[in-house]
Amino acid sequence: MSEIRGKARHRRRKTALAVGVPLALTAAGVTAYGSLPGTQSHASAATAAAPAWATATADGFASVNALGQNGTYGGRDGQTVTVKTLADLEKYATAAEPYVIVVAATINMNPVGKEIKVRSDKTIVGAGTSGHIVGGGFFLGSGVHNVIIRNLTIRDAYQGIWNDKDHDFDAVQMDGAHHVWIDHNDLRHMADGLIDVRKDSTYVTVSWNKLSQDNKAFGIGWTENVVTDITIHHNWIRETEQRNPSTDNAAHAHLYNNFLEDVADTDIKSSYGNYSRGATKMVLENSYFQGVNNPVIKDSSATIAQKGNTFVGTSGRNESGGTAFDPKTYYAYTLDKTADVPALLKSGAGPRSSIGTTATASTKAATATTLTVAKDGSGQYSTVQAAVNAVPAGNSSRVVISVKPGTYRELVKVPSNKPHVTIQGSGASRKDTVIVYNNASGTPKPDGSGTYGTGGSATVAVEADDFQARNLTVSNDFDEASHQDIANQAVALRTAADKVFLDGIIVSGDQDTLLVDTAAKDKLGRVYMTNSYVIGNVDFIFGRATTVIDKSVITLKKRWNGTSAGYVTAPSTAADRKGILIANSTVNGDVSAASFYLGRPWHAGGDTTLDPQTTVRNTSLSAAIKSTPWTDMSGFSWKDDRFAEYKNTGAGSGSASGDRPQLTDSQATGQEVADWLGGWTPTAS
């Protein structure tokens, strides 16, 4: 948008999502544009295409972008192989390349107690309920990352000694691993623990598993360092004596919707349930404890925040206290009702004959067709637009356009009749795959029919619903310094659709970088951006869409002439819609102090019926933000529209005043991410 807002200029905007880094990333010292693990594509070998669930990604802490790994998706972009022997299982699990390994038989470990040393970028998943690992399990060593273990039965390494000190035979053991998802497994009757998360392993999610018939169910810690972040949800833990789990020195342990059951009249008696040890900070929500002795205990140095738990027939210690944390600072999640947990887990935990049948978003993945793009001719198409053109009009299922590393200088448009498209970079980093062009609003069209206009200048234009983009950069590199003679609004990404999910991307430009629009003024358009970066200087997140920028980084940059001045947002929201929400993010950049506004109201075309809205909450603001962060635009006062903050931090934050409205706690409860998304839960597919 033009900085000088003449009425003729009012013709764009869509609130872009500035991709922010979760606090967990900041703590880990990740300051550069985070990278994704290698996702190289392989030709199909001796097996069929990957099954639907092979593209599923983790939730909870395993979904967080940290340590150079953007979430946990295993080997989804590698070759899919089906194994029925120990030799083949070990061959592919220990390979350097990514693989989806389908276990379609009972595999006996030899010798008993063998733990296969899994390498990074692997999905190991049972075929229906036929995948059994007997007499051993899996080991994930230091630095191993991006591993998914799903839908398996791992059992029977038991050596006849209940509290076995001589045989360290676990179902899954990790020592210094990160980004691991253990989901929908049946783990039982091992010689030592069922799951051990040890030695600074972190960004782990354990979900929808059955853990039973063992002395030690689930141990976490064994280190003096307080670094482990772990999510444990929807697990059925029964007939286990201890470590249910035992959580030692975990920085953040989030336990919810678990069912701990000490079955009456059996030989196995629980000594304790959930245990918070050392310096652990634990949040324990909506879990159900039945017949458990000492159901919740903690050390004097540890913390437990209990919410909504149910205890039936329990006895002994049930403790809480201390300051914990808010899991929603790191990821979104939905609690099931505590009363429903026993029935839900009895029917839904453990391996499934069809992994997609459990009624939870985290276990669903749509069948996807994959089209590959490579500049060097090794893919099906050499340009991104050619792949988009190949998507059939009116397609009803997901089409993934996998783009190999390279710089693609082209314009890309996803038309409205091609929904359910994902454009995904397959490189190790979101910087490896770049789609870039240099049109601006005033750039003449080649056919002589005028100029592009702001919306028409977009490098990538998305007009189709249910669009997703991940692990790539979208840029507009229009040279303002050389073209001060024409209108210089230059959009990198324009969305004009509903349910647009932008995950782990960079959107880079100067003025008008990210335009979040809707198909029409009366149409709903929702955009959710997470774990991403938005870079620009003037109104660079703008438009009328209902937009959330969550856990992302908004990077402020200087103008073409080296000066520092600008505006982050320019919402053009309809009166009955929600506008732009920036939450749990970071606003920073190499610009002068007190030189940028958070936003101003864009009444497109002078439309007085609009009610622009920007809310910035729970976000770190650098000193670049002015102490009076909102300003007027084209004769419209920001005070007549909807601009507010809530619990921001950093040098650029400030206390409430007439020039700096702050939401009350009560008002803030109605301006959460979920309120913006209105029943839509963005899910990677």
List residues with catalytic annotation: 512, 539
Report how far residue 436's alpha carbon sits from residue 434's, in angstroms, rounded to the nearest whole number.
6
For residue 594, count CB atoms less than 10 angstroms from its CB and return exposed for 0-12, middle for 13-18, buried for 19 or more: middle
Pair 132, 106: CB distance under 8 Å: yes
What is the torsional sign of CA 94, 97, 102, 104?
negative
Report d(CA 545, CA 83) in Å as an integer: 47
Token pair 């059951």: residue: 261
Token code pair at residue 493: 């990404």
Amino acid present at 11: R
Alpha helices for 546-587 (secondary structure H): none
Instruction: Determine the residue type at 188.
Output: R
Element (H, E) at 507: strand 506-508
CA distance 58 to 33: 21
b/e code 616-628 from CB counts within 10 Å (16+ = b): bbbbbbbebbbee
d(CA 132, CA 105): 6
DSSP labels, 267-296:
S---S-SEEEETT-EEEEES-EEES-BS-E
**Beta-strand pair 65-66/69-70:** antiparallel
Minimal CA–CA distance to 553: which of 579, 527, 526, 588?
A: 588
C-alpha span between 54 and 102 (Å, rounded): 9
Q: Is 124 helix (H, G, I), strand (E, B) or coil?
A: strand
Cα-Cα end-to-end distance for the chain = 33
Side chain identity, residue 576? D
- Is the Cα dihedral 185, 191, 193, 199 positive or negative? negative
- For every residue of 170-188, DSSP letters joined together read -SEEEES-EEEEEES-EEE
Question: Is the Cβ–Cβ distance between 202 and 232 less than 8 Å?
Answer: no
Residues in the chain: 685
Find residue 172's DSSP bridge partners. Answer: 138, 195
C-alpha angle 143/148/149, rounded to 5°? 115
Query: Among residues 351, 332, 661, 321, which one has the least CA distance to residue 529?
Result: 332
CB contact set of 32 (below 8 Å; sequence gap of 6+): none
- Determine the Cα–Cα distance for residues 107 and 90; give it in Å rounded to an integer: 11
| Tokens linked to 516 | 């979040």
